[in-house]
Amino acid sequence: MRHINVGIIGFGTVGSGVVEALINKRGHLSRRLGFAVNIVKICDSDLDRKRHVNVDSSLLTKDVNDILDDPKVDIVIELIGGIHPAYEIISRALKNKKHVVTANKALLALKKESLFRLARDNSVQLRFEASVAGGVPIIKALREGLISNRVNSVYGIINGTCNYILSGMTNFGIGFDEALANAQQKGYAEKSPAMDINGLDSAHKLAILASLGFGLNVRLSDMLIEGISAITDADIKYAAEWGYVIKLLGIAKRTAAGLEVRVHPALVPNKHPLASVNKNFNAIFINTDMLGDSLFYGKGAGSVPTASAVISDIADISKDIVGASSCWTPGIVYDSYAGSIKKKDDFSSGYYVRFSAIDKPGVLARISRILSEYKISIAFVSQEARRQERIVPIVMMTHIAKERDFTKALAEIDRLAFIKKKSVVIRVEESLNEK
Amino acid sequence: MRHINVGIIGFGTVGSGVVEALINKRGHLSRRLGFAVNIVKICDSDLDRKRHVNVDSSLLTKDVNDILDDPKVDIVIELIGGIHPAYEIISRALKNKKHVVTANKALLALKKESLFRLARDNSVQLRFEASVAGGVPIIKALREGLISNRVNSVYGIINGTCNYILSGMTNFGIGFDEALANAQQKGYAEKSPAMDINGLDSAHKLAILASLGFGLNVRLSDMLIEGISAITDADIKYAAEWGYVIKLLGIAKRTAAGLEVRVHPALVPNKHPLASVNKNFNAIFINTDMLGDSLFYGKGAGSVPTASAVISDIADISKDIVGASSCWTPGIVYDSYAGSIKKKDDFSSGYYVRFSAIDKPGVLARISRILSEYKISIAFVSQEARRQERIVPIVMMTHIAKERDFTKALAEIDRLAFIKKKSVVIRVEESLNEK
């Protein structure tokens, strides 16, 4: 039987998952593909660590060149993550005319332009299904299934850690710290979860999705990026009273004035399909010219869903190798007709705000006056029973306003003497209400 | 620029949608693919009908041979539907070494084995993304994205007409006839909607999904197939009281004893993602060994979503033609390791039953006794206030029971003198409650 040889770089949690799946699924894959996928080498800097999969020690190496320079290796699988040395490794693999499969969203978000150019110039493929929502074949859907569609908007719950924390807070009424601790205990949050919590991981994935979906080179610097650490159980409760749940969303939206791209927690209407995406699940809600609304829902991370995505990329590349094809789905196509990307504060939104104010007469009037000076009108307001001269939350939701106006108004309000803490702001995705 | 030539057979609603999209999206597709897709011929038996897309009359023909025998035609697009002459046309196209794209679920359900063999023997592709849930790239997901996965179960809402009717009944409290009339008025149901209403259309699609997902040649004769015409607004209301909505489901489920495949209305727990799939939307809920649960949601039918699916198939085949590939995703892979298909009444389920009985003492006792003789235990029962000697509904839900036992028990009950109409039975998908 014809076979394809892969070399795997990175034998940690994800690498072990891929190795295990390739071994266990060998027969299954051969029957479906008509040829076998062989692991010829596995590289890791630490070969002594205990792993839950057993491989012949002759496959193991600490020297990445044993893979990059081996003419037998058809496809290099990069699973070490991070920027360096992953960037150098993938670059060398592509220059050595090896196809590459990667799960590395941070690297792609930063270096996608040069890496896809390198792949094209060397006539090899660089595939990345596992980089966004591993268990959801969204990259394939955007690149192939929806190839004829013009995407209008993408709303993604693309960080399982944040979604686990927020849905824990929502469903069990617990605070952020307890929800984070639960997530860590269950293995859904890392010990150092900053990249997840602060929205950066979602931003990496959104950069990939938006570039793919809209044909523009979307950079992190184009995005407003906010995380979820300021959200309290009180915010969850107020949102619920008004018919919303709070989700960390990656949003990319085509407007007449250009593409909006941003990552921040958002109030999502209760009845919207994204509102019921719970625990560590991911979901991507897309609107296109030909299909209207679509939703793709599944496990986002974990070594097994990631392995599923990596193997689908291996299978696709392998078919092209075995079939000696010289034409395949390109990485990301930048489309000169796609328009431009808006400045990151150039959008409008509804706003949920929780002010922490000393409760005395005139406070609400003062806040309202400043908002109205910036043409921001209030939709709802909720104020706790008065406790003389104590700090109380004043919570409100505004109608649609301009981000720039709102930011200025809030800065002015937060400078007032009776405001005792930085106000908590969560944007309200009213556009999801129309669905 | 290199180009691919397609010939389109069938210039009705779907055909016009595909032609229009290929014309309007020509630039978009060329930029993404790196080559152009040309329409070289369009065949239809009626060339005089008014269509909403204008094409040069030199493209039009009534003679299918102008496409099938034209050496310039790379891909034949079959959009006439039905079994004959679609079967003969596709067979000839494949024998003439032309790749084929079809949206014809009825034909594939009946003839998939011979058609895919013919494609393989002639080294051409037969693609069919549009045959199931056009706006949802589920065929691609099952064949490629989830290639390494072993599918455990598929639950599909795959008929937009039935879903529009059932969600209309649920959301507006209207009866079946009014909901059907609404669907017809909105263009979501045909004038002769029998194939949709009686479950056959869903069965065609399930035959394709299940064959693909489980590697077995699933035939219509393997399936229990029931439609939705017996369901009344009363059933919708009782289901709601007990925490369920009624959906027409296509179900394929792997069990230790073999594959279960069936189409019938089912009580779906309120909180399950499938419960909130409304209007004419389709959704496929899949459980696999590597991913756990996934959901794919989008528009199922309509000329534009169908065109989107057809063009994705054209794009995939075109890449293989331009790249001169000799290896591609096979049609459906029958896997000798996949096990067998169970007899169609060999499964277990919970049951919702609405009996129409003359209300007199002892009726419920008599029904209960027969059920208990077949080892069927009752979970809930609801009986309307007594109206002496009038027909009243007795509604109950059973615990899990064997289909064969239940069928026998029901036949016995329906023969009782005080039962005045055939009882209405809806199966309860308790397994969705665990999610």
Domain with A35 in it: what CATH number?
A: 3.40.50.720
* Among A265, A295, A154, A299, CA closest to A212: A154
Mean model confidence pLDDT for chain B: 95
Residue B435 has pLDDT above 60, yes or no: no
B residues 314-373 closer than 8 Å to A (CB): 315-316, 319-320, 322-330, 333, 335-337
Check residue B387 and give its pLDDT. 65
A284 CB neighbours in chain B (<8 A) are none
- CA–CA distance, A141 with A311 (Å, rounded to integer): 16
* Whether A112 and A206 share a structural domain: no
Are residues B115 and B252 both part of a single domain? Answer: no
Please give, rounded to a whole number of angstroms, the shortest distance from the CA of B138 to a CA of chain A.
9
As beta bridge partners, residue A282 has A298
pLDDT value for B211: 97
Cβ <8 Å between B29 and A147:
yes
pLDDT given at position B430: 87
The total number of residues written for chain B in this structure:
435
B35 part of a folded domain? yes
Parallel, antiparallel, or unpaired for β A258-269 and A419-428?
parallel
B46: containing domain: 3-134+303-322
Cβ-defined contact of A298 to B298 (cutoff 8 Å):
no
Burial of B160 from C-beta contacts in 10 A (0-12 / 13-18 / 19+): buried
The mean per-residue pLDDT over the stretch B160-182 comes to 97
Comparing CB atoms, the residue among A135, A292, A312 nearest residue B294 is A135
Of the residues B105, B205, B247, B253, only one is catalytic, namely B205
* B292 inside 8 A of chain A by CB: yes
Q: Does B21 touch chain A (CB under 8 A)?
A: yes
3-state secondary structure chain A: CCEEEEEEECCCHHHHHHHHHHHHCHHHHHHHHCCEEEEEEEECCCCCCCCCCCCCHHHEECCCHHHHCCCCCCEEEECCCCCCCHHHHHHHHHHCCCEEEECCHHHHHHHHHHHHHHHHHCCCCEECHHHCCCCCCHHHHHHHHCCCCCEEEEEEECCHHHHHHHHHHHHHCCCHHHHHHHHHHCCCCCCCCHHHHCCHHHHHHHHHHHHHHHCCCCCHHHCEECCCCCCCHHHHHHHHHCCEEEEEEEEEEEECCEEEEEEEEEEEECCCHHHHCCCCEEEEEEEECCCEEEEEEEECCCHHHHHHHHHHHHHHHHHHHHCCCCCCCCCCCCCCCCCCECCCCCCEEEEEEEEEEECCCCHHHHHHHHHHHCCCCEEEEEECCCCCCCEEEEEEEECCEEHHHHHHHHHHHHCCCCEEEEEEEEEECHHHHHC
Nearest to A312 among B144, B311, B328 (CB): B144
Tell me whether B312 touches chain A (CB under 8 Å): yes
Count up the domains in chain B and report the number: 3
Q: What percent of chain B has pLDDT over 70?
A: 98
Q: Is A205 one of the annotated active-site residues of the chain?
A: yes
User: Which residues from A are below 8 Å from B299, CB to CB?
Assistant: 291-294
Torsion, CA B268, CA B270, CA B275, CA B276, rounded to 10: 170
Cβ proximity of A244 and A238 under 8 Å: no
In a domain, B400, yes or no: yes
Give a yes or no: residue B336 inside a domain: no
Give the minimum alpha-carbon distance from B431 to chain A in angstroms, rounded to a whole number: 18
Whether residue A252 is contained in a domain is answered as yes
The answer to whether residues B152 and B290 belong to one domain is: yes
Give the active site residue among A98, A105, A112, A205: A205
Query: Do B100 and B213 belong to one domain?
Result: no
Structure tokens at B170: 């649920």
Cis-peptide, bond into residue B330, ω within 30° of zero: no
Q: CA-nearest residue of chain B to A337? A: B28
Whether A31 is in a domain gets the answer: yes
Residue A342 placed within a domain = no
Q: Are residues A241 and A156 in the same domain?
A: yes
The edge-to-edge listing of strands for the beta sheet with A60-61 is: A60-61, A36-43, A3-9, A75-78, A99-102, A126-127
Residues 61-120 of A with CB under 8 A from B: none
pLDDT over 90 for what percent of chain B? 91
Q: Distance between alpha carbon B412 and the CA centroid of its chain, in Å? A: 33
DSSP B70: -
* pLDDT at res. A386: 64
Same domain, yes or no: B287 and B383: no
Supply the pLDDT for residue A434: 63
Question: Which residue of chain B comes nearest to A151, CA vs CA?
Answer: B28
In a domain, A330, yes or no: no
Answer for the pair A258, A341: CB distance below 8 angstroms, yes or no. Answer: yes
pLDDT at B434 over 70: no
Question: Would you give the distance in Å from CA B282 to the centre of its chain?
Answer: 9
For residue B81, which of B123, B18, B142, B38 has the smallest C-alpha distance? B18
Query: Which residues does chain B have within 8 Å of residue A323's beta carbon, measured at their own beta carbons?
Result: 320, 323, 325-328
In chain B, the N- to C-terminal Cα span, in Å, equals 51
Domain co-membership, A289 together with A227? yes
B92 contacts B122 by C-beta, under 8 angstroms: no
Supply the CATH number for residue A384's domain. Answer: 3.30.70.260
Q: What is the mean pLDDT of residues B90-115?
A: 97
Q: Taking the complete model, does pTM exceed 0.90, yes or no?
A: yes
Chain A residues in contact with B292 by the CB 8 A cut-off are: 135, 298-299
Residue B269 confidence (pLDDT) = 95
Q: How far is A393 from chain B (nearest CA, A)?
A: 33
Print pLDDT tens along chain A (435 aa): 799 999 999 999 999 999 999 999 999 999 999 999 999 999 999 999 989 899 999 999 999 999 999 999 999 999 999 999 999 999 999 999 999 999 999 999 999 999 999 999 999 999 999 999 999 999 999 999 999 999 999 999 999 999 999 999 999 999 999 999 999 999 999 999 999 999 999 999 999 999 999 999 999 999 999 999 999 999 999 999 999 999 999 999 999 999 999 999 999 999 899 999 999 999 999 999 999 999 999 999 899 999 999 999 999 999 999 999 999 988 888 888 889 999 999 999 999 999 999 988 899 999 999 999 999 999 999 987 666 668 889 999 999 999 999 999 999 999 999 999 999 999 999 888 864
Same domain, A189 and A268: yes
Domain co-membership, A158 together with A295: yes
Q: Which amino acid is at A130?
A: A
Here the CATH number for the domain that contains residue A226 is 3.30.360.10
Set of chain A residues whose Cβ sits within 8 Å of the Cβ of B140: 137, 140-141, 144-145
Q: Which of A143, A148, A308 to mutate to test the interface with B (most CBs of B within 10 A)?
A: A148
Among A149, A294, A333, whose Cβ lies nearest the Cβ of B297? A294
CA dist., res. A338 & res. A358, Å (int): 49
Per DSSP, the residues of B97-147 read T-EEEE--HHHHHHHHHHHHHHHHHTT--EE-GGGS-TTS-HHHIIIIITT
Whether residues B246 and B159 share a domain: the answer is: yes
Q: Are residues A83 and A115 in the same domain?
A: yes
The verdict on A25 and A171 lying in the same domain is: no
Question: A335 to chain B: which residues are within 8 Å by CB?
Answer: 28, 31-32
A171/B contact by beta carbon, under 8 A: no
pLDDT the model gives residue A435: 46
Q: Is residue B401 part of a domain?
A: yes
